[in-house]
A and B are shown apart, each in its own frame.
Chain A
């Protein structure tokens, strides 16, 4: 069973191999992603929450519209209502990104991965690229589906939005972009913290807990936090009508991307320096 069978092409063929490329690593990471079930489930949950929950919220809000106050009617934002599910589904994307690399640490697979590809930056770059691409596609599909389903349910009960309305197309497409930036941030957080539970807790704190705490602060503190907190700033890209004390859509998203870049650089550096 052993013997000559180990190297069927004879001993000389070893000279023929080529250097591994970044493309090879990309392909490897793509195979990793599609060969485990956790990624599939995280993406399924994203779609179900984004579209399903969005539909429920849209239907409920539309039915309540007639009975709502004048100020409620004035601030009526049909695009925002239909994307409410996506704002919750972002948690599934954060988990997806965190697990991308921290699950390799918890299973020990990371040692196998970094032995196969000792240029560690390549592993991180390929992983981020694959997860960003998948999240972008799923995120855009989810937000457009949520928008159309939501508007169909709102129509007839309350004013609804169309893609051609000012800022609407940008907000809907922006939801997919926001999720893409979020998944890259989560991959970086997973790389930094290495423990899945710690990294997920950290992402929940960034996304939900700290912004909620900020609400309890006095105005002079709260306003800059609301304005510049990276994920809050980034989510401005998904809103049609910017609220008070928020950045404009693209500058807001820029703040988030800058934050992602900083965290990512730290993660990259530590991955390269630390013992695996």
Chain B
């Protein structure tokens, strides 16, 4: 259980985290989602006592992190997998950490086996690949077999195999009743991994909701239609109060639901404000032939971008004012 009360972090005049209150519950994966620069890492650093909050407080298991008698036994964290001495061997790196919290040496071999790094335990860590480095970071988080786990962008730089592995691991940790907080800037990744979402933008909490609820409430529904009399149908739909756009330009973004054959062209329109059944009945009533009628759900990525549009720290030059 992680609880934040009115967390504020100010760097000079810049507000990195602004009045953030939330709780992260055990037994589920909580996704900590926000665009780059939203304050995710800063918040995690405050949870771990690395940065002191300007105002507010955050506790882990009811205690401030600095007061934990054996921190690694209670909280496992991976903030930056590259935050280690490159000249040290993987095994020795973990051994240093294990010693510091009175964790037995045998546990080092154990976590190396869990993350599949037994084979490179004697290698110096600067020689490890990005994926191996990430696994080593996860191994160090697991060392103390903690009830709370905090991962900052754990799948960054991993190949599909590694991403799948991390996803399975996070789910397994939560299934064992642990509290798992994992940050990401990729909504699609969180949709697959998380049960609950904390969405932040510009240091403020935008949403604290279950993934299902988030998907339901923020996805935009539309209907993709192909018809030889598209223009005619468009006019009828507008009359019925719907919004119609000519041939969609964002088919790729909706790919998870859309038919792969669905193309664009003068005979394709995109209707919002009516569901597919209503469009079908309307077409039938006017004797319009439909060759494609596909309900399209806006992708999660789009929903997320919609939600955080106002709070994106860095936008491409064309998009600013």
Asked if chains A and B come from one complex, the reply is: yes
Q: Please list the residues of chain A having a beta carbon within 8 angstroms of any beta carbon in chain B.
A: 1-3, 5-9, 11, 13-14, 17-21, 24-25, 27-28, 31-32, 35-38, 103-104, 107-119, 273, 275-276
Contact assessment for A35 and B99 in the assembled complex, using a CB-CB cutoff below 8 Å: no
Complex-state Cα separation, A109 to B147, whole angstroms: 23
> What 18 additional pairs, Cβ within 8 angstroms, besides A119-B66, A275-B45?
A1-B165, A6-B176, A7-B145, A11-B176, A17-B144, A19-B70, A20-B72, A24-B101, A25-B99, A35-B88, A36-B87, A111-B79, A111-B80, A113-B100, A115-B50, A116-B97, A118-B71, A275-B52
Residues of A near B72 (CB, < 8 A) are 20, 116
User: Can you name 11 A-B residue pairings with CB atoms under 8 Å?
Assistant: A5-B114, A6-B114, A14-B145, A14-B146, A20-B101, A21-B102, A27-B99, A108-B83, A108-B84, A114-B50, A276-B45
Whether A115 contacts B66 by the Cβ 8 Å rule is no
Interface membership of B140, Cβ < 8 A = yes
In the complex, per-residue mask of B90-126: 1 if CB is within 8 Å of any chain A CB, else 0: 0011011101111000000010011010000000000
Closest A residue to B84 using CB positions: A109
Query: CB-defined interface of B63-74 with A at 8 Å, one 1/0 digit per residue?
Result: 001101111110
Main SS at interface, chain A: helix
Partner of A115, one of B71, B88, B110: B71
- Distance between Cα atoms of A275 and B142 in the complex (Å): 25
Q: Is the CB of A116 within 8 A of B71?
A: yes
Q: Is the CB of A1 within 8 A of B114?
A: yes
Q: Does B82 contact A (CB under 8 A)?
A: yes
The reply to whether A112 and B65 form a contact with Cβ atoms under 8 Å apart is no
Docked-complex contact B66 and A118, CB < 8 angstroms: yes
| B145 cross-chain contacts in A, Cβ below 8 A | 6-7, 9, 13-14
Inter-chain contacts of B168 with A (CB < 8 A): 2
Q: Is B28 an interface residue (CB 8 A)?
A: no
CB distance from B102 to the nearest CB of A (A): 5
Q: A35–B114 contact, CB under 8 A?
A: no
Which A residues are in CB contact (< 8 Å) with B95? 31, 35
In the assembled complex, the Cα of A118 lies from the Cα of B87 at a distance in Å of 24
Residue of A at shortest CB range from B71?
A118
Instruction: Please state if B84 and A107 are interface contacts (CB–CB under 8 Å).
Output: yes
Identify which of A104, A273, A276 gathers the most chain B CB atoms within 10 Å of its CB. A276
Write the nearest CB–CB distance from A150 to chain B, whole angstroms.
34
Which residues from A are CB-within-8-Å of B162?
none
CA distance A116 to B75 in the complex (A): 9
In the complex, A151 Cα to B116 Cα: how many Å?
58
Q: Are B80 and A108 in contact (CB under 8 A)?
A: yes
Q: How far is the CA of A2 from the CA of B92 in the complex (A)?
A: 23
| Closest Cβ neighbor of B87 among chain A residues | A36
A28 CA to B103 CA, complexed, in Å: 11
B172 touching A28, Cβ below 8 Å: no
A6-B86 contact given A17-B73, A28-B100, A115-B79, CB 8 Å threshold: no
B237 sits at the interface (CB 8 A): no
A117: chain B residues at CB < 8 Å are 71, 100-101
Alpha-carbon distance between A273 and B317 when the two chains are bound, in angstroms: 38
Shortest CB distance A105–B (Å): 10
Q: How distant is B315 from chain A, measured CB to nearest CB, in Å?
A: 28
List B residues 39-91 near A (Cβ within 8 Å). Answer: 45, 48-52, 65-66, 68-73, 77, 79-80, 82-89
B312: interface (CB < 8 Å):
no
Q: How far is the CA of A7 from the CA of B144 in the complex (A)?
A: 10
- B97 near A112 with CB under 8 A, answer yes
